[in-house]
Structure 1
Amino acid sequence: MSWSAYVDTNLIGTGKVTKAAIHGLDGNVWATSKGFSVPVNEAQTIIKAFTDASGIRASGIILGGVKYFALRADDRSIYGKKDKSGLVLVKTKQAVLIAVYEEPIAPGEATKVVEALADYLISVNY
């Protein structure tokens, strides 16, 4: 399966994620949904936050030029919120899954989808 298929089918295709991308741990994009772009520098800042979340806790998470309030951040998952949308960021062995959801999608619905794909990718050493 291509990386684009993971984005289109396993994330966007569920109806629980509005926009999504997969970036390598170097920040470079592997796949992204149509019309969504995460600059490499934003991806690199997100990746750093998995080991030191102090920056995003103090200044928020910038994704696609939009600032989100950091709700949770640990070495695997980062969750953020802005008005009626939110984000779920999950680190695997080789990549980071980036997903944005908007109301009426509930945060838990989006989280479940993204975390499940991350679990699968980790199980196959990605």
Structure 2
Amino acid sequence: MSWQAYIDGNLLASQAISQAAIHGLDGSLWATSTDFKMSPEEIKVLISSFSDPSNIRSSGLYANGQKYFALNCNDRSIYGKKESSGIICVKSKSCVIIGAYNEMIQPGQATIVVEKLADYLISCGY
């Protein structure tokens, strides 16, 4: 399966994620939805926040040009909120899966979809 198929067939097809991307832990883009783009600085800060979330806790998490309030930050998952939309970022062994949801989607639904894909990729060695 291609990386783009995980975006299209797993994340977006769930209808619990409205935008998504997968980046390598080196910041490289593996796959993305057409309307979602992380700047090099945004992805660099995100990846470093899994080991030290102090920056995003104080200044917010930026993704796709949007600022999110960092809700949950640990070495596996980072969740952010902006009004009634949000973002879920989950790190696997070699990549970070990023799923954004809009105001029509319940945060819990979006979280389950991204976390399950991360669990699957980890089980496959990624």
TM-score normalized by structure 2? 0.98
The answer for the alignment partner of 1:59 in structure 2 is 59
- Deviation above 6 Å: which 4+ runs of structure 1? none
CA shift digits 1:57-87 (9 cap, x unpaired): 0000011111000000000000000012100
The answer for the alignment partner of 2:69 in structure 1 is 69
TM-score normalized by structure 1? 0.98
Give the conservation status (yes or no) of the 8 Å contact 1:23–1:29.
yes
Determine the C-alpha separation between the residues in 2 that align with 1:59 and 1:18. 24
Give the conservation status (yes or no) of the 8 Å contact 1:27–1:41.
no
Task: State the shift of 1:35 in Å.
Answer: 1.8
CA shift digits 1:35-62 (9 cap, x unpaired): 2111122111100000000000000001
User: Which ranges in structure 1 are unaligned for 5 or more consecutive residues?
Assistant: none
- Secondary structure of 1:125's aligned partner: coil
Deviates more, 1:2-11 or 1:31-40: 31-40
- 1:1-126 → structure 2 map (5 Å cutoff): 1-126=1-126
The percentage of aligned residue pairs carrying the same residue is: 55
Q: What RMSD over aligned residues (CA atoms) do the two structures have, in Å?
A: 0.6
User: Which ranges in structure 2 are unaligned for 5 or more consecutive residues?
Assistant: none
